[in-house]
Each structure stands twice: as structure tokens, then as C-alpha cells.
């Protein structure tokens, strides 16, 4: 298994901290990234257009010809916006270990609440996964080994992208009719039950803003909550969560894990003792990614 050295990692970090699209428009620079890191990078690929907004994604893929396991990563940001690579905020660093493990990584942008309220972001993430399945051959993606992952609200989106069935109707605006199926899901500090985050002591401003003035927000919240879709036969799920997280509470994620286990769907819970929201110290991070590697290996998802 190829390991990226410090120089290639630094080059990747630099490439995606510069102006958006730079690596795509400067062929010489993109080639340098490829030669030094062993990764071919394509930025700002449009996977759909909605609400007058272009949904884009970035693809990091090893220079190889065989289909590769692929991590589909959704950033955090409280539905307020963000971008596919927020290196300075640490989001991009979460998926660097997957590059070191030889994965293809696809980082997805989605509509913030200023452009469209719930369930738009969930619809976008479902559309991004379908787009990747439709274009798997072009990007050497193994469609049988797609894993969704995300940080904070991205963890919620990673779970919904893998758990929501076609019968929910949230993929109706997505081009194509390919089944949206993933092989696994990983939530870093995500959410399980959005209905508990709209009112009362569990209310969180970023969730309230996501729903705006929706008169049916309770029903919409249920439609975008992972806990709604617990059932037998789901792909394996890894939940990483700090037990002192006050932004996205720990207890609902424990309940999700227990419900999945009771339903007979494989679920693992990695508790970060004393951990807050999404960002963890060095020692905790080492333990987290040991659990991630073990989870991927156990379910035959890692690169050969």
C-alpha cells in the first residue's frame, strides 16, 4: 500500500488552499501535483444544477487504471455554506488519511440554507452519489465500494446519503435512475434525530436556520433524520462522536447505534471520551483512524 510522504501531502495541501479551480486551469501545476503525489486531481466538477446554483465536487484519484474504493466526503459548516476543501479549518485534513490509504476521495459541496432550506442539502448529497455511480468508469470508481463520510452536519448528510431509500422520494430531482447504494457510512460528530433540534432544550440555531419558515418543518425534519430510516439490511455504519459534544449531542447517536444494532444492521460506535464537536486532539485522532481502518478492513472495503 503506497504511503504519501510529507512533500506530496504538502503539495496537495497547497494546491487546494489556493484560488478555487487553480489546479484545474493550470495544467502544469496539476501535472506537478500528479507526479509528486501520485494523485490526479479534478476540481469544480458540476454534478447538478438546482435553485440557480451549481453543485460541484472535487475528485482526488490515484493514477491507476483499475476501479478504486471511493470515499465521498461532505464538509461541515452548520448548513451556512463552506466549500469542498476547507484546509485551514481542518475539514480537508479529515480525509487526508484516506488518501494515504490509497482511496479515491470525492469532496462534495451542497446548497447552504441561504440558497435553499431543508431538505435541499440532503437531496444534493443523494444526487452527488448517483452522479458518481453514473460516472464511475470515467473516474475509475468501484461503484460497489463507495463509502460516504462527513464531519458535523456532513456526518448527518453522509448517513442520509446511505440510509434514505428511494421510496422517500428525495432523489427525484437527481438525473438518472441508478439505485443510490453505498457500501458503508462514517459519521464524525454527526446528527441522528433532527426533530429534537428544532425546539426546546435541544434546539440548535444552525438547524432552525436550515428549516427557515417551513410550516411543515417537523415532518421535513423527520424525513431528513437518519433515525427514521433504521431497518435491517443497511450497509455498515461507523459513528465517531465526542461524549461532551454540545453542538450535536452524543446521546442521540448512541440511540442510533443501539437502534441499528437491534435491527440487525452492522453499527460501530467510537466514543471520544471527553471529546467535543468534530475536532479532536492528536492522540484521539490516532485512535479514531485506527478504528476507521479496522472498520474498513472488516467489511472488505479497503484498497487491495
Cell of 164: 434514505
- pLDDT one digit per residue (tens) for the chain, 304 residues: 344 444 455 455 555 544 444 444 466 766 776 776 788 888 899 999 998 999 999 999 999 889 999 999 999 999 987 655 544 344 566 788 898 899 999 999 999 999 999 999 999 999 999 999 999 999 999 999 999 999 999 999 999 999 999 999 999 999 999 999 999 999 999 999 999 999 998 899 999 999 999 999 999 999 999 999 999 999 999 999 999 999 999 999 999 999 999 999 999 999 999 999 977 889 999 999 999 999 999 999 998 7
- Determine, yes or no, domain membership for 3: no
Residue 110 lies in a domain: yes
227: left (phi over 0), alpha (psi -120 to 50) or beta: alpha
Q: Indicate whether this model's pTM tops 0.85.
A: yes
* Domain-embedded: residue 251: yes
Give the three cell numbers for residue 240: 465517531
Sign for the CA dihedral angle at 90, 92, 98, 99 comes to: negative
25: in domain: no
Q: What total number of domains does the chain contain?
A: 1
Q: Provide the β-strand partners of residue 268.
A: 238
Write out the E strands in 136-183.
141-151
Percentages (nearest 5) of helix, strand, coil residues in the chain: 40, 20, 40
**For the purposes of burial, counting CB atoms within 10 Å of the CB of 141, is it exposed (0-12), middle (13-18) or buried (19 or more)?**
buried
User: What pLDDT does 2 receive?
Assistant: 41
- Domain of 55 in residue numbering reads as 42-298
Residue 8 lies in a domain: no
Query: Could you tell me if residue 21 is inside a domain?
Result: no
Alpha helices in the chain (DSSP H): 6-15, 22-25, 27-37, 91-100, 120-134, 153-163, 205-211, 217-223, 250-263, 282-298
The answer, yes or no, to whether the previous bond of 119 is cis (omega within 30 of 0) is yes
147 assigned to some structural domain: yes
Place of cell 437527481: 174
Q: Tell me, what CATH number does 244's domain have? A: 3.40.50.1820
Beta-strand relationship, 237-242 and 141-151 = unpaired
* Cβ–Cβ < 8 Å for 299, 266: yes
**122 lies in some domain:** yes
Amino acid at each position: 500500500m503506497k504511503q504519501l510522504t510529507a512533500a506530496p501531502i504538502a503539495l496537495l495541501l497547497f494546491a487546494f488552499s489556493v484560488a478555487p479551480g487553480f489546479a484545474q486551469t493550470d495544467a502544469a501545476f496539476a501535472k506537478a501535483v500528479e507526479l509528486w503525489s501520485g494523485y490526479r486531481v479534478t476540481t469544480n466538477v458540476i454534478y447538478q444544477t438546482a435553485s440557480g446554483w451549481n453543485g460541484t465536487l472535487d475528485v482526488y484519484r490515484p493514477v491507476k487504471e483499475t476501479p478504486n474504493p471511493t470515499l465521498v466526503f461532505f464538509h461541515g459548516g452548520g448548513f451556512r455554506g463552506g466549500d469542498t476543501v476547507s484546509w485551514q479549518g481542518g475539514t480537508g485534513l479529515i480525509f487526508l488519511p484516506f488518501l494515504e490509504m490509497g482511496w479515491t476521495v470525492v469532496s462534495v459541496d451542497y446548497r447552504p440554507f441561504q440558497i435553499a432550506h431543508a431538505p435541499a442539502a440532503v437531496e444534493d448529497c443523494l444526487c452527488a452519489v448517483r452522479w458518481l455511480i453514473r460516472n464511475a468508469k470515467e473516474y475509475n470508481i468501484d461503484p460497489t465500494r463507495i463509502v460516504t463520510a462527513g464531519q458535523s452536519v456532513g456526518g448527518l448528510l453522509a448517513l442520509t446519503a446511505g440510509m434514505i431509500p428511494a421510496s422517500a422520494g428525495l432523489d427525484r430531482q437527481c438525473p438518472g435512475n441508478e439505485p443510490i447504494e453505498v457500501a458503508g457510512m462514517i459519521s464524525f460528530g454527526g446528527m441522528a434525530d433532527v426533530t429534537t433540534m428544532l425546539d426546546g432544550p435541544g434546539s440548535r440555531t444552525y438547524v432552525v436556520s436550515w428549516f427557515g419558515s417551513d410550516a411543515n418543518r417537523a415532518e421535513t425534519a423527520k424525513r431528513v433524520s437518519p433515525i427514521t430510516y433504521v431497518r435491517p439490511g443497511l450497509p455498515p455504519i461507523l459513528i465517531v462522536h465526542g461524549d461532551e459534544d454540545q453542538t450535536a449531542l452524543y446521546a442521540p447517536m448512541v440511540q442510533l447505534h443501539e437502534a441499528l444494532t437491534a435491527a440487525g444492521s452492522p453499527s460501530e460506535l467510537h466514543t471520544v471520551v471527553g471529546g467535543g464537536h468534530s475536532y479532536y486532539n492528536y492522540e484521539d485522532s490516532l485512535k479514531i483512524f485506527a478504528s476507521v481502518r479496522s472498520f474498513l478492513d472488516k467489511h472488505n472495503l479497503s484498497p487491495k
